Structure 1
Amino acid sequence: MNKQIESIPNPYHSSGESIKENTDTAYNFHKTLPGYLPTPLLNLKHFAQKIGIKDCYIKDESQRLGLNAFKVLGASYAMAEEIKKHIPKGQSNLSFESIKSHKKSIKDLTFVTATDGNHGRAVAWCAEQYGCRAVVFMPKGTAEIRLKTILEHKAEAEITDLNYDETVKYAETEAIKNDWVLLQDSSWPGYTEVAKNIMLGYTTMVQEFFEQTSDWPTHVIAQAGVGSFAASIFSSFIRSDKQKPKFILLEPSGAACFFNSVKIGDKKPHLTPNLNTMMAGLSCGMPSILAWDIIVSITDFFTICEDNIAIKGMQILSQPLQGDPLIISGRAEQSP
């Protein structure tokens, strides 16, 4: 039988692995960015009542720094940490103004990344704001409008003939060849520091959540491509002294690298080939090793859904029940 939604419990669940670094540094840095404001925390109260729960909170990242996506939280902080290595020693407080004060030192510093869209746009925006250079490679099938939005931030960008995972490898090769800094939102053996800082950047979203409500969730659902975002969000909640929520990792059925890896049964991440989903931002074949270690440790359920379920979710948010807020979602995730 073809299941539109399928969920399996985590056979490796423990209480150990999480992000151990102080997340306040990233949060305080984000507050210095031009135009920074916490994104709205919205409650679909009437929808929650309809499905028999008390509240359904959603962080509306469509209002994040004019980029319509959370990815800039990771890119901005990780890029800032890399820039610190290229400016005079003694800069203790990392801030947007401290970076701008060293613009002559970093004007030729080039960051390169592979992207399905939002991460690359975030890298391009950050480089433009900080005064660096950005080079962005995009996988085959990427919509031209996504390329256009990246080029608008003065980055060099192109659509390759490679799939996502191959494009990541290509970006890594170009970084080594040209002495560029690879700013990728995934990790693998030998490449973890930048990915860790990107994950720390994502934790700002939960820091905002803590300040926006005194309610404590019973369940936290996060989507996964390579898993960096979900690992960051889950880790932020587990650091609290309050009761741990149930963590649910959600992937497209046609790009379920975590779900498929768990089902293999050896507690190792595996490549999922032949990706097939309209959820382009989640169409990743290989889990980040940093995210994998965290997610298999603390996630409660691995869940997958068909593309039509994502479409239904977008419709629910854009055509809310009377009294619930309207939320525009999925535009950056859906391929043409």
Structure 2
Amino acid sequence: MMDIAAFHYIANEQARKANPDKTQVRSMDRQATEQVKRFHKSFPEYEPTPLHSLKALSRKLNVGAIWIKDESYRFGLNAFKVLGGSYAVGKYLAKRLNMDISEITFEKLQMPEIKERLGELTFVTATDGNHGRGIAWAANRLGQKSVVFMPKGSSAARLYNIRKEGAEASITELNYDDTVRLANRYAAEHNGVLIQDSAWEGYEEIPTWIMQGYSTLINETMEQIKADGQNAPTHVFLQAGVGSFAASVLGYYVAEFGDDRPATIIVEPSEAACIYKSATENDGKPHAVTGDLPTIMAGLACGEPSTVAWGILRDYADMYISCPDAVSAKAMRMLGNPLPGDPQIISGESGAVGLGVLSLIQEEQALREVGERLQLNEKSRVLIISTEGDTDPEGYRDIVWNGKYPSF
């Protein structure tokens, strides 16, 4: 049996209670998300990523359906992050041009006369890999520069892929949050433009745009489910680093469905569970986790919640869970070696953890109370978003081939 001593959860008893002071989600309403999708559809590389149905696994785990949204196909970059970064870049450039984003297409931004009006810009960011690669990709295609800083311990493969997109990139000796501060200082000192999904007082506009950018993937997902003649999910598991991705999807569901939204479970690695810690403090404020944040889930190794995301996660999420790395590793193996009839999905460390948590809840007798609280049963329709593929191929093989981080 898997050691579940490091598995912790807390239910949000206020999530479904009416409260006029709850954080507003107007930035994630239908009009906003459709505008975002129109912008992304102007990219030559745009096409919806696959939504897989795991029918055999759903039977094994005793739920009605399991859907996996596979972001490894996004723009050929093996991860979803480019959605947020590219939209934020588009919004920034539109504002600089005194235009509305609805007037902007990716092709228009590449026009020589537009480039001449904008001048030479440098986009700066901190990243574990996926976000930085997306910023580098967007900047490169728009003829602009990018500078990317990565926290210590970052994958050499991810660094290579960022440099391959034309960025000036380096790995620091700092943890993620201190690397963000380094990027912020660099941007200020070199007249750069910081494009970061972390948010703090005085820096919230661009992180909000990034969150809006992520909405394309959940917009696609709901269209795909509807086109297949299926009902909406009853449960959604969302992994969190600073919380921007999770808050984007949850904000979409709140804006679109209100109290009829799916039960939303926020999942984090035990060593970097800043959202879980904030929820347990019970004072409504975001709280940081400090230190080196050692976890295989590099995309979630963040110690400080985004101030923009935290309000949404605090007010509307139904449960917060922190779990050990072995939970994600098990799910990577499950997806890479599926049951007969189910598709194979290559999911990275940060992408697979939601499925790992679902399987643990459904299979471990000691966690029966969690499933009961969430009303997970044979009629439940569960959505999980695999946010990345094997962005660190060597690390992926260590887990899937060599059995690193075993379940037993």
By the TM > 0.5 criterion, same fold?
yes
Of the three residues 256, 264, 267, the one matched with 2:284 is: 267
* Aligned Cα root-mean-square deviation (Å): 1.8
Please report how far the alpha carbon of residue 111 of structure 1 lies from its aligned counterpart in structure 2 after TM superposition.
Answer: 0.5
Q: Distance in 1 between matches of 2:100 and 2:339?
A: 54
Residue 36 of structure 2 corresponds to residue 19 of structure 1? no
Q: 1:250 and 1:176, CA in 2 relative to 1: closer, same or farther beyond 3 A?
A: same
More helix by share: 2
Q: Residues of 2 paired with 1:104 and 1:328: CA distance?
A: 42
The answer to whether the Cα contact below 8 Å between 2:136 and 2:165 also exists between their aligned partners in 1 is yes
Partner of 2:273: 256
Structure 1 residues 154-303: aligned runs within 5 Å: 154-214=166-226, 215-241=231-257, 243-274=260-291, 275-303=293-321
Rounded Cα–Cα distance in structure 1 between residues aligned with 2:338 and 2:308? 37
Percent of matched pairs sharing the same residue: 45
Q: Secondary structure at the match of 1:184?
A: coil
Aligned residues: 336
Q: Which runs of 5+ in 2 are unaligned?
A: 349-389, 396-408
Q: 1:68 aligns with which of 70, 78, 81?
A: 78
Cα deviation, 1:56-78, whole Å, max 9, x if unaligned, reads 00100000000010101101100
CA spacing shift, 1:121–1:130, aligned 2, 3 Å:
same
Letter paired with 2:10: I
Q: Which amino acid aligns with 2:280?
A: K
1:82 and 2:70 matched: no
Letter in 2 for 1:231: A
Amino acid at match of 1:5: F
Preserved contact between residue 165 and residue 284 of structure 1 (Cα < 8 Å): yes
Greater alpha carbon shift after TM alignment, 84-93 vs 132-141: 84-93
Give the CA deviation at 1:6. 2.2
Structure 1: unaligned runs, 5 residues or longer: none
- Report if the CA contact (8 A) 1:279-1:334 is conserved: no
> Could you tell me the TM-score, scaled by structure 1's length?
0.95
Detail structure 1 runs of 4+ shifted over 4 Å in the superposition: 88-92, 333-336
Are 2:373 and 1:314 aligned? no
> What is the CA distance between 1:11 and its match in structure 2?
4.4
Q: 1:210 & 1:2 partners in 2: Cα distance?
A: 33
SS of the aligned residue for 2:65 comes to: coil
Quick one: structure 1 residues 92 and 303, their matched pair in 2 at CA, closer, same or farther if it must change by over 3 Å? closer
**CA shift at 1:24, angstroms?**
1.2
Equivalent residue, structure 2, for 1:113: 125
